[in-house]
Chains A and B, each alone.
Chain A
Amino acid sequence: MDIKDISQEEFERIEAYLNNSLSKEDLLIFENRLQNEEGFAAKVEDIKTVLTGIETQALKEQLNEFHEDITTQEKETIQFNPKVKSLQWRKIAVAAALIIATGSFWFLNRNSNDQLYTDFYSPDPGLPTTMSSTDNYEFYEAMVSYKQGHYKEALNTWTKQLKTKVENDTLNYFIGSALLADKKESDAISYLKEVANNDDSVFKNDAFYYLGLAYLKNNNKEKAIEYLSKSDFTKAKDLLKKLN
């Protein structure tokens, strides 16, 4: 079979036949040729194979890409194994000693920071809530929850109120205090900072002190010292002495 004897027109007609897109009339003529013209059926069959071949090879190449993706994922998870095998026990021992040394240093260090934190931290006592002074019922209702140690309830109300009063230093300060009391030091920090940056706030001194404590709890000694030294409280100064 000579491949040169397929014209573009013929090729496109065969392709249309294979795609079922011939018109009724053309289909009749085509089927007639298939039956009667010598070698025509073989020609059609060959084009079909060529089209299948292109598609199959294209997919085959894509399968290799799929495969690479699978095996890279696999490598990322098991990569550690062969490396460990090739290490000598001596190196492993050195590494283990190092890990234990840094680990225990961190552990002891953490412990002393934790200890200082518990020694010095007591939640802000909150604001007095006598009925006569309340012009903001919801706020003081939450303050009652706060004083009773129901920090989450208090936070619910206050964070809702903060949405309309973003810069209110009282809200920011007590949200920060409640978060700190609820052991969410990292969350507390951003609220307390809001207060610490507000020069007019009556809570500024307290904010410095509690920020220092929050950083201490997070093992950030540098920041803890930075904020504690800004506070006028004697307990802040006592704590600083212990840290230095």
Chain B
Amino acid sequence: MRETLKTNNTLQVVDAIKRNDTITLKRIYANNYPKIEILVLKNNGTKEYAKDIYQEAFLVVWQNVKQDKFIPQNESSINGYLYTIAKNKWMDVLRSQGYKKTIVASQMSYFEIKDEENNGMDDDILKDKRLEDVMHAFKNLGDACKSLLRKFYFEKKSMKNIGKELQLDAASTRNKKYRCMQKLRQIALKNN
């Protein structure tokens, strides 16, 4: 009985993440940020750095859950995973050339992580150049198209409901979506 309940809860979290459920995503975001901020601040970082690497890590976790690359047992295993990825990312920043100039190796003593920990943990989709271009293009897409594509692909609203909101019939909505998509891909290619 208790087992089933637990499985159901796990499924609910995973399902909510896959649906981009705002309440769930916000809860996970807010619950885990303070720990990461402390980690970064203690290790020669600033709040801005903490925010950036935390958000990158969050997107990686979200993507990996969506693609079933990471199958969490429960919400706390999501929290642990998120922490590890953020920590590794911060390690990468500290190791990078730009950062090495400003700090001394001895200041990195808080970290006792081994390199193996890194293996396979953060299969990082964000490092894909093409994806980066698309994201940038979407960021700068006109409001009308951006809002339409957001409703469709992020909020997962049905074609019918989006059509209603725009006061368009199904065929026109689909065509509009297609044209927005073309526009987006054009911008993304230009950036190349």
Residues of A at under 8 Å CB distance from B? 3, 8, 11-12, 46, 49-64, 66-67, 69-70
Contacts and interface: CB of A to CB of B under 8 A. Distances in A.
Given A8-B178, A53-B134, 7 more contacts: A51-B153, A54-B153, A55-B153, A57-B135, A57-B139, A63-B59, A66-B26
Interface string B60-81: 0011000000000000000000
Contacts of B131: 49, 52-53, 56
Contacts of B126: 56
B59 A56 contact: yes
Given A50-B181, A54-B184, A59 B138 contact: no
Given A58-B154, A59-B62, A67-B51, A50 B25 contact: no
A53 B150 CA distance: 11
B90 interface: no
A62 B25 contact: yes
B135 A53 contact: yes
Contacts of B130: 46, 49, 53
B128 A11 contact: no
B26 A54 contact: no
Contacts of B55: 60, 63-64, 67
A11 B185 CA distance: 12
Nearest to B125: A52
B58 interface: yes
A49 B130 CA distance: 7
B104 interface: no
Nearest to B62: A59
Given A11-B178, A51-B153, A66 B185 contact: no
B44 interface: no
A11 B179 CA distance: 11
Contacts of B20: 55, 59
A204 B192 CA distance: 88
Contacts of B29: 63, 66-67, 70
Nearest to A66: B29
Nearest to A2: B189
A177 to B, nearest CB: 50
Contacts of A49: 128, 130-131, 134
A8 B135 contact: no
Contact of A56 (B135, B149, B175): B135
